Protein backbone atom coordinates (compact mmCIF):
# COMPACT_ATOMS: atom_id res chain seq x y z
CA UNK A 1 0.00 0.00 0.00
CA UNK A 2 1.37 3.39 -1.03
CA UNK A 3 0.79 6.47 1.15
CA UNK A 4 -0.40 9.60 -0.57
CA UNK A 5 0.86 12.96 0.76
CA UNK A 6 -2.53 13.53 2.42
CA UNK A 7 -2.55 10.14 4.16
CA UNK A 8 1.08 10.62 5.26
CA UNK A 9 0.14 13.99 6.79
CA UNK A 10 -2.80 12.38 8.58
CA UNK A 11 -0.57 9.61 9.94
CA UNK A 12 1.90 12.23 11.22
CA UNK A 13 -0.89 14.21 12.88
CA UNK A 14 -2.24 11.08 14.58
CA UNK A 15 1.26 10.17 15.75
CA UNK A 16 1.82 13.66 17.18
CA UNK A 17 -1.57 13.61 18.89
CA UNK A 18 -0.81 10.18 20.37
CA UNK A 19 2.53 11.39 21.74
CA UNK A 20 0.80 14.41 23.31
CA UNK A 21 -1.79 12.13 24.90
CA UNK A 22 0.83 9.77 26.27
CA UNK A 23 3.17 12.61 27.26
CA UNK A 24 0.63 14.42 29.40
CA UNK A 25 1.30 18.10 28.62
CA UNK A 26 0.80 20.72 31.36
CA UNK A 27 -1.18 23.02 29.04
CA UNK A 28 -3.72 20.34 28.16
CA UNK A 29 -6.04 17.91 29.84
CA UNK A 30 -6.54 14.62 28.03
CA UNK A 31 -9.71 12.66 28.76
CA UNK A 32 -9.98 9.02 27.68
CA UNK A 33 -13.55 8.63 26.44
CA UNK A 34 -15.35 5.72 24.81
CA UNK A 35 -14.96 7.45 21.44
CA UNK A 36 -11.25 8.32 21.83
CA UNK A 37 -9.22 11.03 23.53
CA UNK A 38 -10.73 14.46 24.16
CA UNK A 39 -8.04 17.12 24.46
CA UNK A 40 -8.76 20.43 26.20
CA UNK A 41 -6.35 23.39 26.43
CA UNK A 42 -6.36 24.62 30.02
CA UNK A 43 -5.45 27.46 32.30
CA UNK A 44 -4.58 26.29 35.81
CA UNK A 45 -6.15 27.64 39.00
CA UNK A 46 -4.15 26.09 41.83
CA UNK A 47 -4.22 28.67 44.61
CA UNK A 48 -7.11 30.18 46.56
CA UNK A 49 -7.08 33.51 44.70
CA UNK A 50 -7.05 31.90 41.24
CA UNK A 51 -9.77 29.43 42.24
CA UNK A 52 -11.95 32.24 43.67
CA UNK A 53 -11.67 34.27 40.46
CA UNK A 54 -12.01 31.31 38.09
CA UNK A 55 -13.75 32.24 34.85
CA UNK A 56 -15.71 35.11 36.42
CA UNK A 57 -16.31 38.05 34.15
CA UNK A 58 -15.35 36.29 30.93
CA UNK A 59 -17.79 36.68 28.07
CA UNK A 60 -16.46 33.80 25.98
CA UNK A 61 -14.27 30.72 26.10
CA UNK A 62 -12.61 29.19 23.04
CA UNK A 63 -13.80 25.74 21.95
CA UNK A 64 -11.92 22.85 23.56
CA UNK A 65 -10.46 25.10 26.23
CA UNK A 66 -11.18 25.66 29.88
CA UNK A 67 -9.87 26.05 33.39
CA UNK A 68 -8.57 23.28 35.63
CA UNK A 69 -9.07 23.98 39.34
CA UNK A 70 -6.60 21.88 41.34
CA UNK A 71 -6.70 21.41 45.13
CA UNK A 72 -4.11 20.24 47.66
CA UNK A 73 -6.40 17.64 49.22
CA UNK A 74 -9.52 15.74 48.10
CA UNK A 75 -12.69 17.37 49.41
CA UNK A 76 -16.29 18.19 48.53
CA UNK A 77 -15.75 20.88 45.90
CA UNK A 78 -18.66 23.29 45.55
CA UNK A 79 -19.06 25.72 42.67
CA UNK A 80 -21.58 28.42 41.87
CA UNK A 81 -21.91 30.81 38.95
CA UNK A 82 -22.68 34.20 40.47
CA UNK A 83 -19.93 36.15 38.65
CA UNK A 84 -19.80 33.98 35.55
CA UNK A 85 -21.21 35.27 32.26
CA UNK A 86 -21.10 32.07 30.16
CA UNK A 87 -22.72 28.65 30.56
CA UNK A 88 -20.23 25.97 31.66
CA UNK A 89 -19.92 22.23 32.11
CA UNK A 90 -18.25 21.35 35.43
CA UNK A 91 -16.30 18.09 35.43
CA UNK A 92 -15.42 16.80 38.91
CA UNK A 93 -12.25 14.69 39.12
CA UNK A 94 -11.04 12.29 41.82
CA UNK A 95 -7.34 11.86 42.78
CA UNK A 96 -6.86 8.88 40.43
CA UNK A 97 -8.18 10.94 37.50
CA UNK A 98 -11.64 9.36 37.40
CA UNK A 99 -14.53 11.70 36.62
CA UNK A 100 -16.92 11.42 39.57
CA UNK A 101 -19.62 13.60 38.06
CA UNK A 102 -20.51 16.29 35.55
CA UNK A 103 -22.83 19.26 35.92
CA UNK A 104 -23.95 20.00 32.38
CA UNK A 105 -24.69 23.45 30.95
CA UNK A 106 -24.73 25.35 34.26
CA UNK A 107 -26.15 28.78 33.48
CA UNK A 108 -24.64 32.14 34.45
CA UNK A 109 -25.89 33.54 37.74
CA UNK A 110 -26.72 30.12 39.20
CA UNK A 111 -26.82 30.54 42.97
CA UNK A 112 -27.01 27.02 44.37
CA UNK A 113 -23.66 25.24 44.65
CA UNK A 114 -22.86 22.33 42.35
CA UNK A 115 -20.88 19.44 43.82
CA UNK A 116 -19.32 16.34 42.28
CA UNK A 117 -18.86 14.20 45.38
CA UNK A 118 -16.70 14.25 48.48
CA UNK A 119 -13.39 13.01 46.99
CA UNK A 120 -12.73 15.77 44.42
CA UNK A 121 -9.13 16.86 43.80
CA UNK A 122 -9.79 18.90 40.63
CA UNK A 123 -12.59 20.45 38.60
CA UNK A 124 -12.44 21.14 34.87
CA UNK A 125 -14.72 23.88 33.54
CA UNK A 126 -15.42 23.97 29.81
CA UNK A 127 -18.09 25.58 27.61
CA UNK A 128 -21.63 24.50 28.41
CA UNK A 129 -22.63 21.52 26.27
CA UNK A 130 -19.06 20.68 25.27
CA UNK A 131 -18.74 17.65 27.59
CA UNK A 132 -21.57 15.99 25.70
CA UNK A 133 -20.15 17.08 22.32
CA UNK A 134 -16.75 15.56 23.22
CA UNK A 135 -18.31 12.37 24.59
CA UNK A 136 -17.10 13.01 28.16
CA UNK A 137 -18.93 10.95 30.78
CA UNK A 138 -18.68 10.00 34.45
CA UNK A 139 -16.00 7.34 35.05
CA UNK A 140 -13.89 8.52 32.08
CA UNK A 141 -10.20 9.01 32.90
CA UNK A 142 -8.53 12.45 33.02
CA UNK A 143 -4.78 12.89 32.57
CA UNK A 144 -2.76 15.95 33.55
CA UNK A 145 0.64 16.34 35.29
CA UNK A 146 -0.98 17.93 38.34
CA UNK A 147 -3.21 14.88 38.74
CA UNK A 148 -1.74 11.57 37.73
CA UNK A 149 1.06 11.54 35.20
CA UNK A 150 4.52 12.89 34.67
CA UNK A 151 5.14 15.78 32.28
CA UNK A 152 6.81 14.83 29.01
CA UNK A 153 10.56 15.43 28.82
Q: Cα–Cα distance between 122 and 147 in angstroms, integer?
A: 8
Question: Would you state the pLDDT for residue 13?
Answer: 36
Give the chain's end-to-end CA distance (angstroms, integer).
34
Predicted model pTM: 0.79
SS3 73: strand
Task: Please give the average pLDDT of every successive group of 10 residues along the chain, which has 153 residues.
Answer: 39 37 71 96 91 89 95 88 90 95 92 83 96 97 81 38
Pairing of strands 65-75, 36-45: parallel
Question: Would you state the pLDDT for residue 2?
Answer: 40
Helices (H), the chain: 5-23, 48-53, 130-133
- The angle formed by the CA atoms of residues 96, 100 and 101, to the nearest 5 degrees, is 150
**DSSP secondary structure letter of residue 61:** -
Amino acid sequence: MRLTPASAALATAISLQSSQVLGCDSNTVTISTQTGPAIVDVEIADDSQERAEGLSGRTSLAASSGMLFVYDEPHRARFWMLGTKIALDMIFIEPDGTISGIEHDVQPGTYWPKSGGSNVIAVLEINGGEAEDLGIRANDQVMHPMLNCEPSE
